Amino acid sequence: MPDAKRSASIVSGTLDLLILKTLSIEPAHGYAIAQHIKRLSRDALTVEEGSLYPALQRMQVKGWIAAEWKKSPTGRQARYYKLTALGRRQLDAEQQAFESSIAAITRVLRSAES
Amino acid sequence: MSGEEQDRARPGRVVRTEREPVEGAVDDEIAFHLASRVSELQRRGVSAADARRLAISEFGDIEASRRELAAVDRALRRRRRVLTALDGSLQDLRHATRSLRRAPTFGLATFGTLAIGIGALTTMFAIVNAVLLRPLPYRDPARLVGAWHDMAAINLPHAPQAVQTYFTYATQTHTIEGIGIYRETAANVSVIGQAADPQRVDVAACTATLFSVLGAAPLRGHLITADEDQPGAAPVAMIGEGMWRSKFGSDPDIVGRVIDVNGVARQIIGVLPRSFEIPTSRIALWIPLNLDPANPPPTAFTYGGIARLKAGVSAAAAERDFASVLPRAATLYPRFAPGVSTQQILAQTKPRPILTPLRDDVVGAVSTTLWLTGAAALLLYLVACINVGNLALVRFDARQLELAVRQALGAGGARIARSYLAEIAIVALAAGITALAISGAALALLGSKGPTDLPRLAEVALDGRCVLFALVACSCAVLLGGAIPLRRLRRGTLLLNRSTRGGTAGRAANRTRQTLVAAQIALALVALAGSGLLVRSFIRLDAVHPGFDADRVATYWMSLPPARYAKDTAIVRFYATLLDRARALPGVVSAGLTSRVPLVPRGFNDNPFYVEGATSADEKLPPLQIFTTVGGDYFQTMRIPLLAGKPFDAMDQQREGDAIISSRTASMFWHDSTGRSAIGKRFRVLPTSRWYTVVGVVASTRDSSLMKLPAPVVYFPQTTYTDPAQRQTARTMALVMRTQSDPASLNSTVQGIVRALDPSLPLFDVQPMVAAVRASTARLRFTTLMLGAAALVTLALGALGLSGVMGYVVTLRRREIGIRIALGAAPTTVAAATTRDAMRVTAIGVAVGLALFAAAAPFARATLFGVAVWDPVAVAGAVLILLAAAMLASWLPARRAAQVDPAEALRAEA
């Protein structure tokens, strides 16, 4: 198992995509978003919390997500984020762009091998 | 309040974030994150202290994150505030439109007043900005200067360049990047390959350096190159955009086509855009001068010059440089004219180089006219703004009850102010848009019907800057119109019972209103007195006797090109035949020829006059005279009286050597205005040339302008001359005819005579002499008309304001008037008392206006003719007109009020 410190940090720009993807499943608070990304990537990706919250706020300003304070299961007040319609469109767009760029990179790698 | 609650509170609005203290929210969120992490780690068996340390280190820089979060949060909140404010403004606007609909008179009056005021101001701004303020449309225009000479010794403060001085400056100075010269002339032009339709066009002959100095860009083709400007180069020409479009139908393959310019076939090498107005906007054709430094032509000081200063060099430094190299002209180019050395001419004229901003040369005398008209528009605008202030004040009083109710119900002062300003803002905005439409129409009219000699007319347009200006003018009107009532709103709370208090109107309200009216009267006085001065100037100018009789005289200009009329005898033969045929026409009283028509800016030729026996000629140039060539019965036709001696002989019998001088010349040299002592005296035109004998003396005429005293003129006969360097047979002349009836009826007949003599010869400036005289005063006429119109509108607006306010004051005082009448006062006495109040305000306004006028009037001095700045008729007239208007405006409502039934007035609530 790779050391947590040496796991890949998230390329800037893709963090937005990961957050949007996470929130497309259900509304969540910041901590849950970070855990979700880490778990789904089998600890390959760690979210630097220091950049998670600013990213959330920026996305709020852009109108992709909305926030409200709610009681969490543990009983404490937590800020829950949810995807807006605009955010859903943004997710589709970013996902498409990401996939096509991955495909392009893969093509380059393959051709370099052959 | 949470986001959801807010959404519920304001349906239809999307609020994406909650409202709460920023820092707190950030801290809470981070704290929640850390707590969640700690409890999870503890569940995995990590000790509490370690879990906390691990969570914090995983999080990274908490402080930085907090700062960033807080910044984003603040941006969010700011945006929300703007949205809320916008929402409030929308409400204000809705409210304002509703309340305006209830008071259409206020809205319409404000709208009309502002539309006129802003429209006039914006129009003038568009013109002043394009003509006077905007940089010239050439590369780095701040470094372009007009190169002239101050020849104080012979009273010429703005003398031009000579070829010798030009080459000296071009090769010897080190403070300029280059210098170019030009000379304005005119030519008969026809397009080769098109049906013969010769035209007279204005031409600039210039050096190739003129274009490189200006850094102009051609529309098509290329600029005149140094090679094309060499002596003996193949003849080329550049044409202006106007000619390209009209004569060549915007032919894209224009380059390479050939035009006939004065009988010379010239190849067109390029097209210059309309915005290229060097030397003037009239020029349609540019041709190279082809100067030869080894053999300069004897053309003396006849060229305009333009230089480009090197970067960082001041005009004063360049002037010193020019002055220091000028003496070298004497050795570099020693020959100035036949028998005259450059050394000699420099000693006699003592030229001092002066470099002036090129803009002054381009804009010229029109700037005074524009500034004056602009000032009149500004006065109009200010009076309009004050009118709006007055109207707003009246409206404010009318709404006082409503506003007081709103205040009592808890509306803040700012809120009331905003809703009130919104009302004026809506009207002002509508007025501003209308004003832009008015300006657009006015500018279009100026382009098609305005004075054609307005420089940079092509650049005048209603651009973004004008729209911005109109917007600023709108905002100023809103502030001016709204500020005064608002000041009162701030001063104290509104009184609910104010409207029922009755009795007399508030003292403070009245004082504000009276101040406004006084200011309006002061501004109107300045406008009225100013235009009064111009009207008086114009009347004076109209009464000036020009020294000739323009009535029923027609002029027809033509120019015989050297290519086809090489010999002097051919020229004389042509004109003698023309004169004979013109004289023979039925209805022609007499006919003559002249190389220069008085008051027409064409054919001016200033030369020195060396009197026989005078000694001073060597060190000082004698005073310049206007040399004119005449033939036939010119003096008789123009009714210029012969004071002494005899007229010239018939053209084909006249011999060289005779001259006729004006009485001004006679008194200048022989101190005898009757001219008798000048007869038989001799003079010459160059120190070494042949002698001419004075055979006659005629009365002086006003030559360059009706405003200027007659200049000294020397007339030579149209005949052949032996030495063309000294005197030439005139090629360009006007046929001048006195007719029994309307001179225009003979135009086609004269055209036919000229066609018969030479079908390729264009006639130009065909006009009655009366029209020529009128044209010479066109600018003053235009200025007078514009200022007069502005003054009348200003007066009308001022009177409207005054009557509106007086009417309102009387309405407020109806109760008081009623009481007085009930107590036995005569209605007329009461009315007179009210009028007296108005007159006191008017008197104050007049006094302030006179002070303003005293400060402003000297700027108009250059435009005036024959009247002092403090002309009593104009100033007293303006004061009287204002007093009469004020009297009328206050007497009518006062009178009406005094006639009401006192009982009714007492019952009615004031």
DSSP assignment of B610-676, as one string?
EETT-SGGGTSPPPPEEEEEEEESHHHHHT--EEEE-----TTT--TTEEEEEHHHHHHHHS-TT-G
Q: Which one has a higher pLDDT value, B385 or A12?
A: B385
* Structure tokens given for B134: 């905007």
* Cβ atoms of residues B566 and B574 within 8 Å: no
Neighbours of B500 (CB within 10 A): 10
Pair type for strands B144-151 and B220-221: unpaired
Better-scored residue on pLDDT, A94 or B436: B436
Answer whether B3 sits within 8 Å of A77, measured CB to CB: no
CB contacts of A30 in chain B (<8 Å) are 29, 32-33
The verdict on a CB contact (< 8 Å) between B72 and A30 is no
A64 to chain B: nearest residue by CA?
B16
Note whether A30 contacts B29, CB cutoff 8 Å.
yes
With a cut of 0.95, is the ipTM above it?
no
Residues B168 and B161: their CA atoms lie apart, in Å, by 11
> Which residues from B are below 8 Å from A57, CB to CB?
68-69, 72-73, 76
DSSP B867: S
pLDDT of residue A12: 56
For helices B62-102 and A49-62, angle between their N-to-C axes, nearest 10 degrees: 10
Asked if residue B359 lies in contact with residue B128, where contact means CB atoms within 8 angstroms, the answer is: no
In the chain, the amino acid numbered B330 is: A
CA B331 to chain centre: 44
Task: Note whether B21 and B86 are within 8 A (CB).
Answer: no
Confidence (pLDDT) at B615: 63
Query: Do B73 and A31 lie within an 8 Å CB cutoff?
Result: no
CA distance A11 to chain B (A): 17
Residue with tokens 């259900």: A26
Residue B33: left (phi > 0), alpha (psi -120 to 50), or beta?
Answer: alpha
Bridge partners of residue B627, in order along the sequence? B714
Hey, of A31, A33, A47, A52, which one would you mutate to test binding to chain B, going by the most B CBs within 10 A of its CB?
A31
- Chain A to chain B Cβ contacts (< 8 Å): 76
CB B717 within 8 A of CB B629: yes
Strands B713-717 and B625-632, by their bridges, are parallel
Q: How far apart are CA B251 and CA B241, in angstroms?
A: 11
Q: What is the pLDDT of residue B100?
A: 75
Most A-contacting residue of B39, B46, B58 (CB-CB within 10 A), to test interface? B58
Mutation choice for A interface testing from B32, B39, B44 by most A CBs within 10 A: B32
Nearest CA in chain A to B36: A31
Cβ-proximal residues to B57 (8 Å cutoff; 6+ apart), any chain: none
- Nearest alpha-carbon partner for B591 in B753, B451, B461: B753
List residues of A whose CB lies inside 8 A of any B CB: 29-31, 34, 48-51, 53-54, 57-58, 60-61, 63, 66-69, 72, 74, 76-79, 84
CB–CB contact B32 A31 (8 Å)? yes
Cα separation values, B531 from B372, B466, B852, B873, Å: 10, 26, 15, 12
- Asked if B97 reaches chain A (Cβ–Cβ under 8 Å), the answer is no
Work out whether strand B658-662 and strand B692-698 pair parallel, antiparallel, or are unpaired. parallel
Best of A36, A69, A70, A84 to substitute, by most chain B Cβ atoms within 10 angstroms, is: A69
Q: How far apart are CA B539 and CA B527, in angstroms?
A: 18
- Structure-block tokens of residue B137: 């449309």
Written as one string, the DSSP assignment of B311-366 is TT--HHHHHHHHHHHGGGHHHHS-EEETTEEHHHHHHHH--EEEEEEHHHHHHTTH
DSSP-assigned beta bridge partners for residue B692? B683
Specify which residues B682 forms β-bridges with.
B693
Select from B160, B185, B180 the least CA-distant residue to B170: B180
pLDDT at B570: 92
- Interchain contact, B36 vs A48, CB within 8 Å: no
Cα A33 to Cα B426: distance, rounded to the nearest angstrom: 50
Cβ <8 Å between B36 and A74: yes
Cβ separation B59–A50 shorter than 8 A: yes
| SS3 category, B708 | coil
Q: Decide which of A79 and B168 is more confident.
A: B168
> By three-state DSSP, how is residue A75 classified?
coil
Q: What is the pLDDT of residue B3?
A: 40
Beta strands in B11-116 (DSSP E): none
Per this entry, what is the length of chain A?
114
Chain A neighbors of B78, CB-CB under 8 A: none
Task: Find the helix or strand (DSSP H, E) in which B177 lies.
Answer: strand B176-191
Cβ(B94)–Cβ(B411) below 8 Å = no
User: Cβ of B65 and A49 within 8 Å?
Assistant: yes
From chain B, the residues in CB contact with A61 under 8 A are 72, 75-76, 79
pLDDT beneath 50: ranges in chain B: 1-20, 492-493, 496-505, 910
Q: Say if the Cβ atoms of B28 and A61 lie within 8 Å.
A: no
Q: Report CB contact under 8 Å: A57, B65.
A: no
Contact check, Cβ <8 Å, A50/B62? yes
User: B260-315: per-residue pLDDT in tens?
Assistant: 998 889 999 999 998 898 888 889 999 999 999 888 888 888 899 999 999 999 99
Q: Which residues of A touch B60 (CB under 8 A)?
A: 48-51
Given the DSSP bridges, would you call strands B156-159 and A45-46 parallel, antiparallel or unpaired? unpaired
Residue B365: CB atoms within 10 A of its CB come to 10
Q: Is B36 on the interface with A (CB under 8 A)?
A: yes
Residue B75 sits at φ, ψ, to 5 deg, of -60, -40
Instruction: For residue B358, give Cα distances in angstroms to B147, B326, B562, B739.
Output: 9, 21, 34, 45
B239, containing H or E segment: strand B236-240
How many Cα neighbours within 13 Å face the side chain of B699? Answer: 14
Q: In the prediction, which pLDDT does B734 show? A: 94
CATH number, domain A4-113, options 3.90.1640.10, 3.40.630.30, 1.10.3720.10, 1.10.10.10? 1.10.10.10
Q: Tokens 């309307």 correspond to what residue?
A: B742
What is the signed CA dihedral for B259, B265, B267, B268, rounded to 10 degrees? -30
Q: In whole angstroms, give the CA distance from residue B280 to residue B274.
A: 11
- DSSP, res B161: B
The answer to whether A23 touches A33, Cβ cutoff 8 Å, is yes
Query: Where do the structural domains in chain A lie, given as residue ranges?
Result: 4-113
Instruction: Please give the model's pTM, rounded to 2 decimal places.
Output: 0.71
DSSP structural state of residue B234: P
B455: its two tokens = 């420089």
The token duo for A113 is 């091998």
A79 three-state secondary structure: strand
